[in-house]
Structure 1
């Protein structure tokens, strides 16, 4: 039998426990006078910043950041079509990356209790070092899957060896850059439930997946 070209796809994924929890929250206030509204936001944000400083010194927070206070106004309309006096709004966004999930649970329980605080999201992540290692290992595993699959195809048609011709991320073998954007990929998942004075955080594993396409010459 003459040589045959075999094209296969190899996929692999790994579930990894998250190492960081990134919290996004905002401190907001509104009222009829601009000055008091800004003061309320600053007063509510100050203990949050101080607390994050303390958590960072103790090693429970990897890093955190806080934006400037944003202030804007609007004149709402009532249901009779009459424009009402101005309402002033102020807010400041705060982001914190926790490496200690127990500390995060208690911090959220205390912080989110304030009327001015709104927790926007919690995203679970790996450290950059771990992410790079896992993505490399998963990509290597995906290639091995492709090789095994090509060998199985070759054996099924009575051929003995396969030699690689091309290996690429999904889509690149066919010149489709859009399809290639899906591999390697990382998915972040999160789940949480309230319980007692602290929040019982139940992070889902992070799924790191890779997919490759490979072309082999079988003979």
Structure 2
């Protein structure tokens, strides 16, 4: 057993997964035509239908939505490529993007099904997230587990040395105890989206019903700790 106090420096790591409590649905509207009107008119019609659907959800007393946005329809034109360099007639394109953030994750399936039925509207992707409050609470829990992991390591070393007493003298984020020797720790891992898996045909639409399965969000934390054992 050492006669003088022994300094023990360790890292602690922990990671846990949490169910998301928000879902951001990214939307795209796109139409092409030989004239500006052929692209612009249906794009405006679909954008109006999308806005009407979103307004219906915003008026729901259950407060299904947290935030919504629909950009103005943008109009562009381009000439198709020709291998011999011939100047082809202009093609016109009208596009718009939008996003809808859901508080109620159970409402996402119905919305995706309904919005997909609007001509020219595509669901870009689903972004499963945690609110800032929920993320902070989850991160606090994971950091606590990381500290416990560091303490468990230090106690293991203490027992190996035959020491009876251990005392924490420093606790820090990675790299703070040993500047210039920071391990390659990355930010908390966030895995978004798990969608699909067709279910039986819907009786209302005749299309396959949509089944969405949010993927749990992984959060990790690392700490450095210094102890004195004797």
Asked whether the two chains share a fold, i.e. TM above 0.5, the reply is yes
In structure 2, relative to structure 1, the CA distance for the partners of 1:67 and 1:176 (3 Å cut) is: farther
Q: Give CA-to-partner distance per residue, 1:7-38, whole Å, 9 cap, x none.
A: 21111122211111111111111112223322
Q: Give CA-to-partner distance per residue, 1:127-170, whole Å, 9 cap, x none.
A: 22211111111111211211121111111111222333332222
In structure 2, relative to structure 1, the CA distance for the partners of 1:151 and 1:81 (3 Å cut) is: same
What residue in structure 1 maps to residue 168 of structure 2? 164
Secondary structure of the 2:49 match is helix
Q: Cα offset for 1:114? A: 3.5
Q: Give the whole-Å Cα distance in 1 for the aligned partners of 2:182 and 2:8.
A: 23
In structure 2, relative to structure 1, the CA distance for the partners of 1:98 and 1:81 (3 Å cut) is: same
What 5-or-longer segments of structure 1 have no aligned partner?
A: none
What residue in structure 2 maps to residue 109 of structure 1? 113
Task: Tell me whether 1:209 sits opposite 2:220 in the alignment.
Answer: yes
More strand per residue: 1 or 2? Answer: 1
What 5-or-longer segments of structure 2 have no aligned partner?
A: 203-208
Question: Which of residues 22, 45, 48 in structure 1 aligns to 2:47?
Answer: 45
Secondary structure of the 2:106 match is helix
Superposition RMSD on alpha carbons, in Å?
A: 2.1
Q: Cα offset for 1:65? A: 1.1
Matches of residues 72-87 of structure 1 in structure 2 within 5 Å?
72-87=76-91
Secondary structure of the 1:101 match is coil
Matches of residues 1-219 of structure 1 in structure 2 within 5 Å?
1=2, 2-58=4-60, 59-175=63-179, 182-183=186-187, 185-193=188-196, 194-195=198-199, 196-197=201-202, 198-219=209-230
Q: TM-score, normalised by structure 2?
A: 0.85
Q: TM-score, normalised by structure 1?
A: 0.89
